[in-house]
Amino acid sequence: MPLLKDGRIVEDPWVDVPPGEAVPADQPAIVDLEAWQAQRAQLVGRNQAIGLRLAPGDSPDEIAEDLDRFSLITLSFPAFTDGRSYSLARQLREKHRYRGELRAVGNVLRDQFAFLYRCGFDALDVADTVTPKHWRTSISEMGLAYQTATKDGARNVFQLRQRKRDAETKATLLASQYGKHSSADIVQRTITDEFAGRIAVVSSFGAEAAVLLSLVANVDRNTPVIFLETGKHFPETLAYRDQLVTHLGLTDVRSVSPDPGHLSDEDPDDALWRKNPDRCCHIRKVLPLERALDGFDAWLTGRKQYQGGERSDLPIFEAADGRVKINPLAVWSQSAVERWIAAHDLPKHPLAEIGYLSIGCAPCTEQTTATGDVRNGRWAGTEKTECGIHKAKWAH
């Protein structure tokens, strides 16, 4: 069945598993609530993404603590006149703040499409009897005046989408204003003028972290710095963090740890990094960072184009899920980094001195080999190149 997503008809990579049938191990799979509750322990440990199928009578309250485990939730419409799944969508988005993909399945009319979007759906299965062209027409014709009221100050889906558009506009504007400015000026402008009191730095305290942190300290040592304490760092990294914090006089470094419940459920034997490194990064980095960034409108990173891979065309300003992400060192060269560290007498990470040019969690980091790629020691022997915090759904 065709899938309408992001205004296009696309192929659906998910397998919708009928009740009672085995869940495929090698494909993203959607299971119903009963199957999830019966096989939860097995499904949590699988290497592929998992989705949940909710019927109109199901309650998301039953699995509220598990919602962030699902990359996708499908809600069924058994009849055109049955609107219970609209209410379910609102509960998921507004009450439970579910940020994954919501998909409508079943009997939906073209003139209901606008309301689907307003309730927080991202995609829908298009019935075989409906010409996909008609749905595209509905998208182009759609014009909505969104309601913005929420309970208890929580952002609803309408506000989130508006915030995303605002961030995209802001990133474009900043690029035109400051794109040619020095890194020091970009840091100063964003911390003191553009996002005063609403910006944080995300730092791994890795091999090159001292550069960005020194630029920030020169502007405001009270700027919040978020460090993802995965529980897997080298002891040298933790010692270096403390040394650099003291050296630069940083006053608000926040070490953010994973949810203990996620660790006990998904990594009881402390070996998830070996079995499913993507999921390990997700529960140890992606989810904790999402929590830590709540309340901030922008964040600074130390990523650079010369680090290669997906960073090769990194912009200085970009939008990331309703926030502006600033990469002031994007166009720096490796030699410029080394010169800055030497010129400002900054402490060096002890592992960088012995060949670790990119440093993450200890189990997934090796010494860099002489291939020109400074990150080739990360997840060596696999196709993985990023931990996921810059690719998560909430970060786009």
Q: What are the catalytic residues?
A: 387
Return all residues near 226 (Cβ < 8 A) that are at least 6 apart: 200, 201, 202, 203, 254, 256, 289, 292, 293, 299
Residue by residue, DSSP assigns 137-206 as HHHHH---------STT---HHHHHHHHHHHHHHHHHHHHHHTTS-HHHHHHHIIIIISTTSEEEE----
How far is it, in rounded angstroms, from Cα 175 to Cα 323?
14
Dihedral angle computed from the Cα positions of residues 109, 115, 121 and 123, in that order, rounded to the nearest 10 degrees: 30
Strands of the 123-125 sheet, one edge to the other: 8-10, 3-5, 123-125, 101-106, 72-77, 50-54, 29-32, 15-16
Confirm if 319 and 171 have CB atoms less than 8 A apart.
yes
Q: Are 365 and 375 in contact (CB under 8 A)?
A: no
The CA-to-CA distance between both ends of the chain, in Å, stands at: 27
Are residues 198 and 191 in contact, defined by beta-carbon separation less than 8 angstroms?
no
Please report where in the chains the tokens 């989810």 appear, as a residue: 287
In DSSP notation, 102-123 reads EEEEE---GGGHHHHHHHT--E
Helix (H) or strand (E) holding 274: helix 272-275
Question: Which of 257, 259, 252 minimizes the C-alpha distance to 201?
Answer: 252
Strands 29-32 and 50-54, bridge-based pairing: parallel
- Residue type for position 85: S
Residue corresponding to tokens 């730092």: 203
> What is the dihedral angle through the alpha carbons of 389, 392, 395, 396, rounded to the nearest 10 degrees?
140
